[in-house]
């Protein structure tokens, strides 16, 4: 419900030019920024999907949106807290770094192909 609500608010009240201008300024850094922004958010992919559909429809490239969604799903802070119980800090840092690099590469690949 929260994802649908936020998606509808973005779709109805945030002008398309906002996304185009914001992403246009930082086009080369948009994927890493989207990945970093997604880390503190804790939500399931089904909850975030309406937001992703809306921001993609408003001009955000698909790879940037996908990087944002994958960061929410794969790099959330609560996940790090849970994994800290079974992993050392060094191993957790390596895991998060590898996943983040993979997300950024996939985001750029989708932006390049799209």
Structure tokens at 25: 């300024």
* Residue 19 confidence (pLDDT): 58
* Residue 10 confidence (pLDDT): 60
- Residues 33-75 pLDDT 10s: 888 888 877 777 777 888 888 888 877 889 998 998 899 888 8
Q: Is the pLDDT of residue 112 over 70?
A: yes
Interval 86-90 mean pLDDT = 93
- Residues 3-22 pLDDT 10s: 556 656 665 666 656 656 66
* Residue 74 confidence (pLDDT): 87
Q: What span, in angstroms and rounded, lies between the C-alpha atoms of 54 and 77? A: 24
- Residues with Cβ within 8 Å of 62's Cβ and at least 6 positions away in sequence, in order, are 56, 110, 111, 114
Q: Which domain holds residue 66?
A: 2-113
Q: Which of 30, 13, 40, 46 is nearest to 108 (CA)?
A: 30
- When divided into structural domains, the chain yields a total of 1
The overall pTM is greater than 0.85: no
Residue 81: pLDDT band (50, 70, 90) is confident
* Residue 44 confidence (pLDDT): 75
């Amino acid at each position: 419900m929260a994802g649908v609500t936020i998606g509808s608010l973005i779709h109805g009240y945030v002008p398309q030019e906002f996304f185009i201008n914001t992403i246009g300024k930082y086009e080369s850094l948009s994927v890493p920024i989207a990945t970093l922004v997604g880390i503190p958010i804790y939500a399931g992919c089904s909850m975030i999907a309406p937001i992703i559909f809306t921001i993609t429809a408003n001009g955000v490239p698909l790879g940037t949106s996908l990087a944002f969604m994958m960061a929410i799903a794969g790099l959330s802070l609560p996940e790090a807290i849970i994994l800290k119980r079974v992993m050392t800090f060094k191993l957790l840092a390596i895991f998060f770094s590898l996943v983040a690099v993979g997300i950024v590469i996939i985001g750029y690949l989708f932006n390049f192909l799209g």
